[in-house]
Chain A
Amino acid sequence: MPLLDIQHLRIEFVQGRKRLVALDDVSLAIDPEEVLGVVGESGAGKSLTAMSVIGLLNPPATVTRGQITIDGRRSDNLTDRQLRRIRGKIVGAVFQESLTSLNPLYTIGRQLVQTICVHSDLTARAARGRAVDLLAEFGLSTPERQLDAYPHQLSGGMRQRVVIALAVCANPRLLIADEPTTALDVSTQAQILAVLRRLRREYRTAIMLITHDMGVIAEMADRVAVMYAGRIVEDAPVREVVAHPQHPYTAALIGAIPRLRRQVGRLTRIDGAMPPLSALPRGCAFHPRCPKAFARCREERPPMLSSGGGRAACWLFDGNG
């Protein structure tokens, strides 16, 4: 049984009579201990999908269709109070901006102790010990002293480690990491990825890794879901995706990763831009930019079809699987 199961999720921005479909018919699942990479351009719906899992969509975004099941239990119809038992305890979440994710007025020790105490019966003293252990584990030197530091006194990489420690201090079974390395420099990025790998190895935490960086995905994920304009266009094991991308959009993304040991002189480029939600074209949303588009692509929207080792939403695979 998957740990997280999203079925036919639809999210709309409802403002008065105007409705904008931001996410449509998104289905994806994460097994226990699995790392699912979610890739796509900004605005493709990656973060919306993640936020809906922990019930933290900002109004006016609302789930209007579909269902979300966490650990065998429906979560999309829960009250805020019930969702609180899921947040942090079953599903942890880390956001992109580590500086703004921490309350600037409290020391990181206070924020850690508070969060640990909310999720356990530990005394403040014991919680402090646990906080030190967590920070040490995630590679902060002199964690004892760092507890008294304020967020602005730490470097970006250190802050992101604190943020991850905060998100996983109650041992959640799934960690949603929304662009956890985007704001960091390359070497710090590698360190944070190492922290995530460690989480998975030692705590058996499943991870939903959201990024627009195909390179990070190739390095970290077991399986990849590629999103485009509010839909999933390909869902396949990472090895398949990197070696034999099925959907033309995925192929273009893979072609755009620079590689050191490759003879091909040119990186591919995807012409045009992702259409805004208010002006999605008929048929497949990618067809205006697709080099392989044909008549049917302009008329009908493709469903997910089996192809290669996974599934892709493309008419190219109609009838061959």
Chain B
Amino acid sequence: MLAFVAQRIAQTGLVMLTVAFVAFAMFHFIGDPINNMVSQDATAEQREQVRRHLGLDDPFPLQFAYFISNAVHGDFGVSYRLSLPVGALIAERLPATLELVFVAASIALLVGMPLGVYTGLYRRGVVSRLLLGLTLVGISLPTFLTGLILILIFSLWLGWLPSFGRGEVVDLGIWSTGFLTASGRRALVLPSITLALFQLALITRLVRAGMLEVLGSDYIRFARARGLPNRLVLFGHALKNTLVPVMTNVGLQIGALIAFAIITETVFQWPGMGLLFLQAIRFADIPVMAAYLMLTALLFGVINLAVDLLYGAIDPRVRGESSHHKGS
């Protein structure tokens, strides 16, 4: 098990290194960073001086090493556009995005899994067919449209919920949270539902498909053949086996939530990283883009690492303990 964990962590590290390389390469291939720092009429000599001062004449591998070492310490340089340290900019926006993604993922999982189990068990029922039809709608509707429809109904017509912003937030050290105020919680409702809807529909369908496959398997038939009660067969044997393949997909989907958050944040003017990133692209603010890229990759990596470890905890075959005591 320990070797398994170490191997997964090493793999994640390798992925991060690759992403860091891509992020770093952006500085070199999207224009010369010196242009952004010196005045237009600077002489070639002055430019060289700045270059030497910043270490930009160092060999490429050395520069990359500095970049990595700085990034590990949370230093991604200074935003071209805002002239503020990128680390601070991100730290300010990160809580908003993570809270949104957390709530959306919770909705998608807590609603999607039971719906998947239900539609898998009663696959011929009217309710199941109706739900499946709805999941198809959920998958096909683009996120921005869902958001706009929700705003139209709940903000404009009914006036129940705010249509933009995060509401009041409370600062807890470096983390600003919207969970602790009524307006913060109300502000979360529409964007998180918008963000969750696609994943919810997808998870429902994934769990349903997994459930159907497991229910047709030999060990479920054998469990029934030895007279185990239905409840035990379904929730003791079938459900856990369904979770194994579904978990991988769910992990990837939660990673995707972070990416999808860009659109949701735009629709609801949510002050998160997605909005920051979109503005950075518009102004070719490379330090911000590089930092966003690496942070997203890190979150993806951590989620997948967690899924892999969970996998090992659930499925003994993954832990690689073969021939534990073989031979008779």
Contacts and interface: CB of A to CB of B under 8 A. Distances in A.
Interface of A: 54, 56, 58, 80, 84-89, 92-93, 95, 97, 100-106, 114-115, 118-119, 139-142, 145-146, 149-150, 152-155, 157-158, 163, 166-167, 169-170
B218 A97 contact: yes
Given A105-B314, A118-B229, A56 B325 contact: no
B232 A101 contact: no
Instruction: Tell me the dominant secondary structure on chain A's binding face.
Output: loop
Interface residues of B, number: 32
Contact of B217 (A86, A100, A145): A100
A105 B324 contact: no
B241 A87 contact: no
B237 interface: yes
A87 B224 contact: yes
Interface in B272-328: 314-317, 321-328
Point out which of A100, A102, A104 has the most chain B C-beta atoms below 10 A from its C-beta: A104
B232 A149 contact: no
22 contacts: A56-B224, A58-B216, A86-B227, A92-B226, A93-B226, A97-B218, A100-B218, A100-B219, A102-B222, A103-B223, A104-B241, A105-B314, A115-B228, A118-B227, A118-B229, A139-B328, A146-B325, A152-B316, A152-B322, A153-B316, A153-B321, A169-B226
Given A103-B237, A105-B316, A114-B232, A153 B324 contact: yes
Contacts of B322: 152-153
Contacts of B237: 103, 106
Contacts of B61: none
B218 A105 contact: no
B236 interface: yes
A220 to B, nearest CB: 21
A170 B227 contact: yes
Contacts of A152: 316-317, 322
Pairs of residues from A and B, 10 with the lowest C-beta to C-beta distance, nearest first: A88-B227, A87-B227, A100-B218, A88-B226, A93-B225, A150-B316, A153-B324, A101-B222, A103-B219, A84-B227
A106 B326 CA distance: 17
A56 B227 contact: no
Nearest to B315: A105
Given A139-B328, A149-B325, A101 B218 contact: yes
B230 interface: yes
B129 interface: no
Contacts of B217: 100
B232 A118 contact: yes
B240 interface: yes
Point out which of B222, B232, B237, B316 has the most chain A C-beta atoms below 10 A from its C-beta: B222
Point out which of A88, A102, A103 has the most chain B C-beta atoms below 10 A from its C-beta: A103
